[in-house]
Structures are given as C-alpha cells and as structure tokens.
Chain A
Amino acid sequence: MATVSLEVNGRAVTAEVDPRTLLVDLLRKQLRLTGTHVGCDTSQCGACVVHVDGRSVKSCTMLAVQAEGARVTTIEGLAPDGRLHPVQAAFRECHGLQCGYCTPGMIMTAVALLQEHPEPTEAQVREHLEGNICRCTGYQNIVRAILSAAQELRALPKAS
C-alpha cells in the first residue's frame, strides 16, 4: 500500500491506496465523489475528466499515487455552495444533456476550455470536445450550452 496526500475540491485528503488504484477509483470509491463517471475505461470517452492542477485529465488514465501533492477539482467542486456553476446552468438551460452520463466530463472539459479561451468560436468548442463522447449524440446542444456559458462568464465581474 502507498499513502497519497492531495487536495480535492479545496479539502486536504490523505488516503491509503494500492499503487494500482486509478485516480477515478480513489475519487469515486474511497472519497465517495461519484459525480465523476467511468465510461469506457479505455481513455477514449472523457466521462472521467477532472482537473489536476488546473488541467483537464482523464482520471481513468492516471494513477492515484501520481496525484501526490496535486490540486484536484471534480464536478462536485464546481458548485461547492450548491449553486450551479455558470457552465452547469447553461447545460440545464440549453438542454445540453440527455441521459447525463457524459455530462460531468463534458462540463469539466468546457470549464477548462473557457479558462484558457474565454471567447471560443463554435469550431474551437467542437475541436476541444475531441476527447469527449456523448453516446446520445447530443453534441448540438452541448456546443450551444458552452457558447452560452462563455457569454455568461464574460459578463460576470472578475473575481480577483
């Protein structure tokens, strides 16, 4: 067993893990943060995307021990006080989800995109979703939701 210490959604966490444990299993099974989903488990679908030190990664393709000292944000961390993040709100408003399985990964991917490119074109949004698969094929409204959230976020006063 190995000990891993990291920050998850702003909270310091220390856990005992087998070195083979995937980051997504640490999050879901040990920390009970089940908002992050496992879709394909083969690094293709993006349902398990979380942020590690501010960057989107597939948490099924990273060992939990590799997150030592890292700052991890999951879908739960986007709405710490129960108020939806603007990207979450836009997904609801634009009907950007059908079965909802891919949604946490889609939203974490969108948040990372908008942090880097606050004014993406539709083509940029579609290209950025390369690693996220929606098996309901609801891409049209996902893209609409992300563009709408981009507008919303730009209108917000800067936090700092």
Chain B
Amino acid sequence: MYEFEYVRPQTVATAVEQGGAGQYLAGGMTLLPTLKLRLAQPGRLVDLNALPELQGIRVDGNVVRIGAMTRHADVARSAELRRAAPVLAELAGGIGDPHVRNRGTIGGSVANNDPAADYPAAVLGLGATVVTSAREIAGDDFFTGMFSTALAAGELIRRIDFPVPKRAAYAKFPNPASRYAMAGVLVAETAGGIRVAVTGAGPCVFRVPEFEAALTRRFAPEALDGLEIPSDGLNQDLHGSPEYRAALVTVMAQRAVAHAAARG
C-alpha cells in the first residue's frame, strides 16, 4: 500500500468535512484489496466504522431504511427485514462469503457500483432512494456507469430507503470462484408497477422494459419464454460470453418471478 493518513471521525459532520480530501473506508472489502495492489493512492482514509448513526435497519410502515454502514450479515439475519422485505435479506445473504458479509456494507457496495455487485440490483429494482449527506438521489438516477455513481466528491451515503414491494425476489448465477453475479436479476411488483433490474451482465446495473411489460401482462415465469435481451454491450470474460449472459438474464429473471410469485 502507498502511505496514507488514517482518520476515524466520531460524527458524520466531521466525516464529511474530512471526506472531501480523502477516501471513505466502509467495510473495506473492495477498497483494502485495491490499496494492497496499489491501484489507488488516497492521501487520507476516512474510516466510517465509528459512526453508529450510519448503522441499523428500521422498518417505517412501507419503507425499509438501512444505514449505510449496516453489514451484509446483519441485513441477512434481520428478522424484521425477513418479514417486511425478505428479498433484501436473501440478496444480502448471498453476497461473497460469511467473512465478507461480516465486514462489507450496503453503503460501500452501492457507492462502489461494481458491475457484478448484488446491491445495485436491489436499489434499482425496488426503486430505492439513496439518502446522502447533501440530498436524496432516486435509485433510477444513482448508477451512472461502470464503477461510477451520481455521488459528488466527498458526498457520503447516510442510508438507503427501500419502499416495501408487494412481492419481489432476486436470483443470481454466481461466478463459481468469486461469488460475484455473472447475471443477477431482481424482479419486483411495486406500487409503481413491475420492475426488473439486472446486475453482473453489463457494465452497469440496468432495467429491462420488455420484461417489465411482459410481466405486467402476466406475472409468471412463462411470460418471459422466448424473450432475450440483446447481447450487444454485455460483459465478456473467461467465464462467459455476452450471448451466454443474455441467456442467463432470462433464466434468472424467470427464477426470480417463480420465487416472487410463490410468495403470493
């Protein structure tokens, strides 16, 4: 690692003050490996781990509010969440491995916007709102491209508000080694209609209007029979071609629909 100054602010206000000239450290599951490989050289690390106000899960009527520093393991095992929005607990329980889930955070995952991360599918697919130190950003406007988001320099995610869906499920085909999604699809019936969000398949999470229209007509896996997204622009690596990923997206979407439909 290159040298850096390490600070651990005790209030969110101080964190934001210090964050302007530095890099926030949340769970560190991506940032620390990146630093070890010297792929980044932040002058200052602003550790968010001493800020309890950024942690915790609260269900407020029809909204689930998850603090940015809430660990994946805590989302996965939250009994309250398993009742209100089981899709979130399931998705979090499938991230990485147990040790990663004990450290990794929802805010870190969303701010990093890895093309194969799971949480972006939840933020976009459930139509969540990202609440930052400066403003509220709609999930639809948050993810702007590979590893990039609408966050300004120094802007800190405080929490993410998820409207409770009528029913929803997430299905992913994990890379057998990394457990990152080769294709992950979140399907939700929300107050605003059906939403389908795909992660892992392209450079950035995206919605699939054709699937949404078909599922609006009939919410059943068969509604997607014969439908496939174009493979142009999808990810290509040693694990799968764009065409393979396009096929996976339909299969994962059908699995998610079947699971969501079974929930009633």
Interface of A with B (CB < 8 Å)? 2, 19-20, 41-44, 46, 49, 55-58, 61-63, 65-66, 68, 109, 112-113, 128, 130-132
Contacts and interface: CB of A to CB of B under 8 A. Distances in A.
Interface of B: 1, 3-6, 8, 25, 28-29, 32-33, 36, 45, 47, 49, 73, 96-100, 102-103, 177-179
B47 A66 contact: yes
A141 B3 CA distance: 43
Contact of B99 (A2, A41, A131): A131
Contacts of B96: 130-131
A2 B6 CA distance: 9
A55 B72 CA distance: 13
A25 to B, nearest CB: 11
Contact of A63 (B28, B98, B178): B28
A132 to B, nearest CB: 8
Nearest to B49: A66
A71 B96 CA distance: 24
B33 A43 contact: yes
Given A55-B73, A63-B32, 10 more contacts: A19-B4, A49-B99, A57-B102, A58-B99, A61-B32, A61-B103, A63-B28, A109-B99, A113-B98, A131-B99
Contacts of B8: 65, 68
Given A62-B32, A63-B28, A56 B102 contact: yes
B45 A42 contact: no
A56 B99 contact: yes
A132 B6 CA distance: 30
A100 to B, nearest CB: 20
Contacts of A44: 177-178
A57 B71 CA distance: 12
A56 B98 contact: yes
A131 B103 CA distance: 13
Contacts of A19: 4-6, 45
Nearest first, the 8 closest Cβ-Cβ pairs linking A and B are A131-B97, A19-B6, A130-B97, A55-B102, A20-B1, A131-B99, A58-B99, A61-B32
B33 A42 contact: yes
Contacts of B32: 43, 61-63
B72 to A, nearest CB: 12
A55 B4 CA distance: 27
Nearest to B4: A19
25 contacts: A2-B6, A19-B45, A20-B1, A42-B33, A42-B36, A43-B32, A46-B97, A49-B99, A56-B99, A58-B99, A58-B103, A61-B28, A61-B33, A62-B103, A63-B28, A65-B6, A65-B8, A68-B8, A109-B98, A112-B98, A130-B179, A131-B96, A131-B98, A131-B99, A131-B100
Contact of B6 (A42, A63, A112): A63
Contacts of B99: 46, 49, 56-58, 109, 131
Nearest to B93: A127
A61 B29 contact: yes
A17 B28 CA distance: 19
B98 A20 contact: no
Given A55-B73, A65-B6, A68-B8, A128 B98 contact: yes
B98 A41 contact: no
A43 B101 CA distance: 12
Nearest to B97: A131
B26 to A, nearest CB: 11
A91 B5 CA distance: 42
Contacts of A42: 33, 36
A68 to B, nearest CB: 7
